[in-house]
Amino acid sequence: MTIVTLFIYIGIAAFILTGLIAWMKQNQINLVDSFIQNFAGSLFIFSGFVKAVDPLGTAYKMEQYFTAFQDTCKGSFLKFLAPIFPVLSNFKVSFSVFMIVLEIVLGIMLIIGYQRRISAWMFLIIMIFFTILTGFTFLTGYVPTDTNFFEFSKWTAFNKDQMRVTDCGCFGDFIKLVPKVSFLKDLILMVPAIWFLFRWRKLHELFSPTVRTSLTLISTMGFLLFSWSNFIWNEPVWDFRPFKIGVNIKTKLEEEQKAMAEVEIKAYRLRNKQDNKVIEIPYKAYLDSFKLNSNFKASWETLDQIKTEPKIPRTKISDFDILGMDGQSVTESLLSDPHYNLIILSPKVKYQVKLVEEERIDTIYKMDTAVFKLKNKDSVIIKRVASGTEKKLVKRNQYDWDPDFVSILKTKMLPLIDSVKAENVIGSAVFGGLTEEGINHLKITTGMSVVCYEADDLLLKTIMRSNPGLLLLKEGKIIHKWHYKHLPGANELRTKFLNEFANKIY
């Protein structure tokens, strides 16, 4: 679905809703005001709802924004604001849920006409906030990565690889909008935001004041619970991510890699080093310029390649890469394994680590010689001989693992994996942001015997919102995935998900 298609659907819904309200009110409403009111409200409800099914996704997006804002403020006149963003990042989940519920409830308030003046001002404030986010996302494409956003004289031609945040997350994972489209969308929505300020008295009101208040309060509490339930108690009820149940990662990865390999360079964007003029020249002309003009490279700076669009859009699946403890990729073997593989996924292991000193006693050796007679010849042997001991202070990392995290592994996940190993089901674990030393210490702490791997934490966050979570994989296909609070029993796992054993007497 595209943003245009979505707007058409929202427009149709707003048109029908306006007709029903006109019938209920016996045409005692302004149709234009009512339609805009219903359109904006319906769009906010839909936009908030598709994010409410996955609040952690929005939280991760807000974390990216906070990091980008912090870096921008550090190198500018706004440096006094930089310390605020790490604090906000610590509350990213709460901030995410608050914004999502506010967006949905405001949409409901607009449609029912609750507190029309307050709703109008809230809509304007939120639209200003969204426009700043999407505008920043888009405009950073003009800012080189080694340049601060406010150094306007150093801005270049647009390059998507320079953007600090790749997409705004306006509709979660349901629709991925390029930043320019997101920015234009919010600029368009500023029109009804300003319209409401001057026309709020003309907006329709539905039901009685008591009913409007009750609907607002009930929807606030209901969507708060709904949002929390989609990551605290379970995985998202609807999965719009590329790693949804039923997807074959291996097949999709191969398709995306093939599509990217078939992308062709159409032209190059260049900047003249003397007058900063930016031009685009076709690929062949670009190559010919090096052959025909010896000063070409000295005069022009290459800014960007203009390529054809891949036949299959690139998703996070293209970043799927699992590493062994030796740092080598095991992706191909993992996705080709014909066995069922129960994989523990943990994007961020919860622990504290500190450097401690230990006193150790080492044996001191000295080299000594011994002379032996062998067939009337002297034979000299040099050997190590213990001559004493000495005390040494040795530094090492001491890990303090989160007890709840360890308990989930020891009492839930590892026993479940052990219970089906007899059926030729293998187990493994993939951790993000944890060193080999840390993984080895965690294995000792939990008694974990499964093979452990490493991966990018952003990749694991995309696959699984639960931390830790359990993924069932077979030949690259995602059979199922579970939040740690909703793990299946061994018999349920055998009968429902392990096809080879489904017909047994379990």
Burial 214-236 (b: 16+ CB within 10 A, else e): ebbeebbeebbebbeebbeeebb
Q: Cβ of 434: how many Cβ atoms within 10 Å?
A: 20
Residue type, 68: A
Strands 377-401 and 426-432: unpaired
Q: Render pLDDT for 67-125 as a digit per residue (tens, 0 to 9).
A: 889 999 988 888 899 999 999 888 999 999 999 999 999 999 999 999 999 999 999 99
Which range, of 40-44, 268-272, 378-382, 443-447, averages the lowest pLDDT? 378-382
pLDDT(483) > 70: yes
Residue 129's contacts (CB-CB under 8 Å, 6 or more residues apart) are none
DSSP string, 255-291: HHHHHHHT--EEEEEEEETTT--EEEEEHHHHHHHHH
Which is nearest to 57 in space by CA: 179, 253, 182, 235?
A: 235
Query: What number of helices (H) and strands (E) belong to the chain?
Result: 17, 10
- Tokens 């622990």 — which residue? 351
pLDDT of residue 231: 85
Residue 109's contacts (CB-CB under 8 Å, 6 or more residues apart) are 41, 115, 119, 122, 216
Give the three-state DSSP class for 304.
Answer: strand
Q: Render pLDDT for 408-428 as a digit per residue (tens, 0 to 9).
A: 999 999 999 999 987 889 999
CA gap 114, 506 in Å, rounded = 56
- Tokens 């999407």 — which residue? 134
Q: Render pLDDT for 323-354 as a digit per residue (tens, 0 to 9).
A: 998 889 999 999 999 999 999 999 988 888 88
pLDDT of residue 417: 93
DSSP string, 401-461: E-HHHHHHIIIIIHHHHHHTGGGT-EEEEEEES--HHHHHHHHHHHT--SEEEEE-HHHHH
> What distance lies between CA 79 and its chain's CA centroid?
27
Domain range annotation of the chain: 3-233, 264-307, 318-350+402-501, 355-396
DSSP string, 212-226: HHHHHHHHHHHHHHH
pLDDT of residue 117: 95
pLDDT of residue 202: 92
First-to-last alpha carbon distance for the chain, in angstroms, is 43
pLDDT of residue 351: 85
Is the distance from CB of 277 to CB of 271 less than 8 angstroms? yes
Task: Output the furthest CA–CA distance in the chain (Å, rounded).
Answer: 127
The pLDDT-based confidence of 313 (bands split at 50, 70, 90) is confident
Residue type, 30: N
Going from the C-alpha of 425 to that of each of 418, 419, 421, 468, 486, the distances in angstroms are 9, 9, 5, 20, 20
Q: Render pLDDT for 14-53 as a digit per residue (tens, 0 to 9).
A: 999 999 999 988 878 899 999 999 999 999 999 999 999 9
Residue type, 82: A
pLDDT of residue 385: 73
CA gap 204, 314 in Å, rounded = 44
Instruction: Please identify, in words, the CATH class of the domain defined by 318-350+402-501.
Output: alpha beta
Rounded to the nearest integer, the mean pLDDT of the chain is 87
pLDDT(372) > 70: no
φ and ψ at residue 40, rounded to 5 degrees: -65, -45
